[in-house]
Amino acid sequence: MSVVLVHYHLSPGGVTRVIESASRCLTAAGVPHVILTGAPPPTVTDLPVHVIEGLGYLNDVASHTPLRLVHAMRATVQDAIGLGPHVWHFHNHSLGLNLLMDEVVSTLAEAGEKLVLQIHDLAEDGRPKNYPVIAESETLYPLAPQIRYAFLNSRDRTWFHHAGLPLERSMVLPNPISAPATPDGAPAAGTPARVLYPVRGIRRKNLGEVFLLAAISPPDTRYAVTLAPVHARWKPYFDDWFAFASDSGLPVDLAVVDRIAPHPGASSSFESWLGQATHLVTTSVAEGFGLGFLESAALGKPLLGRNLPMVTQDYAAAGITAGRLYDRILVPIPWVGLETLRQHLTRYLQDVLDAYGKPLHNSCVDRVFDAIRFRGYLDFGNLPEDLQRQVIHRLMAGGDRDALQVEIGGTVKPLAPWLEETLSHREPTATPDQLAQYSPDAYRERLVALYSELEATQPGAPTFLPKHLVLDEYLRPENFNFLLT
């Protein structure tokens, strides 16, 4: 058995960390493997990386064709690890980042190659700008005995099953967990809460909610977000929040790593910020696996913020309480206004459905409009940024703090006292010992078992999952969020 790991790039990010972990696991298990990617890694690496022209982000095919790309991949793999047979492990093949990728995968499927198609993110799931790249594909999701789909959470696996993917040809493959860095120092005893959000501030990370929490936190509490986004698409949203931090005077610092220090005399490194944090926070409205929920336990830091049942239900099934989390922050509807909300919704829905090739009907607006209201309240995390700032301005201008509620497991209580009590806790809700089931060793065992199972299968001719049925699962009204448009 030998393995080919395939991804568009190895730039810093969650998928790259998973691929690096997988490579080290395979090396430890004695499994020959190679990593194919579309661009040289940004830093020197000892991993078996080979760069294939045309394998990166590709919106203009130019001289590339699927068959040429497959030929180049096969030739590189043969030179590196021999004739095979191989298991080809693709990451995010269907995300709409390369015009040729669906045909590359289907070509290999039709040739009877053993494939793992690992889904980290989906064009169908809050990435409408990606969807036109794959909109015409009829071979995006191949099905055959020698093909397995690997999902990061049970929700995505279930929804693909509803669309026609046999459960026995899929699995949940959780990411391996290890502390992302070694904290430098520790907060002094009695330090007011220093709350760190260790992410790039892309739109779905819901930075507005950090500002809301800061506006209602006890005095002297400060919040920080580690990094700015890299992709040009997310920069305007981030820049607006950066300006808002200055204009509002709220205790929130953005893009702090290598720019400002957590206190005078300290380093501005990520490790320094991590060391001085009393808490970690998450306000994201969507994640595939949600490394941050478990990394807090690996670091011994308490986590607070927004619950994402799509990922935390798997942790709960494993006996892990991922943090002190709320399901929604509830804002009274009059703070926004129903007509204002509906106007925003209609405009956003039109853009989303246009990208997905779906018509906008009044009945669709009505269904989503009903789905985003909760007994006279709206969820702050499902408001566009300008309306989030409107709510924060109202709060800062003397709005009734007790009008803001937090919903946890169906119970509603005032946000301010819940937040004050939560920030008083300095211990995590999970322990490093509970993470053993997500360790690199456990991940290696899962990978080897998956590849061994595929090695023993007899290949068959592929059929293809109807792509529109997958899209329908993700476009249900209750799944709409302004920050995923």
Determine what percent of the chain is predicted with pLDDT higher than 70: 100
Q: What tens digit of pLDDT does each residue of 109-144 get? A: 999 999 999 999 999 998 999 999 999 999 999 999
Q: Give Cα 441 to chain centroid, integer Å.
A: 23
Q: How far apart are CA 175 and CA 225, in angstroms?
A: 23
How confident is residue 62, by pLDDT bands cut at 50, 70 and 90?
A: confident
Indicate if the pLDDT at residue 258 is higher than 80. yes
Per the omega criterion (within 30 degrees of 0), is the bond before 85 cis?
yes
Structural domains present in the chain: 2-176+439-484 (3.40.50.2000), 194-432 (3.40.50)
- Counting beta carbons within 10 angstroms of the beta carbon of residue 122, is it exposed (0 to 12), middle (13 to 18) or buried (19 or more)? buried
pLDDT at 274: 96
For 459, phi and psi rounded to 5 degrees? -70, 150
How confident is residue 377, by pLDDT bands cut at 50, 70 and 90?
A: very high
Report the relative pairing of strands 147-151 and 114-119 from DSSP bridges: parallel
Distances (CA, A) of 162 to 76, 165, 218: 38, 7, 46
Q: What tens digit of pLDDT does each residue of 327-343 get? A: 999 999 999 999 999 99
For residues 270-296, average pLDDT: 94
Unique residue bearing structure tokens 């793999």:
77
The first and second tokens of residue 124, run together, are 């169908």
Q: Is the pTM for the entire model greater than 0.75?
A: yes
pLDDT at 418: 98
Q: Collect all residues with Cβ–Cβ distance below 8 Å to 67 and sequence separation of at least 6.
A: 107
Q: Dihedral of the CA atoms 15, 19, 25, 28 (nearest 10)?
A: -150
Indicate if the pLDDT at residue 61 is higher than 90. no
Distances (CA, A) of 250 to 31, 120, 316, 422: 52, 34, 34, 20
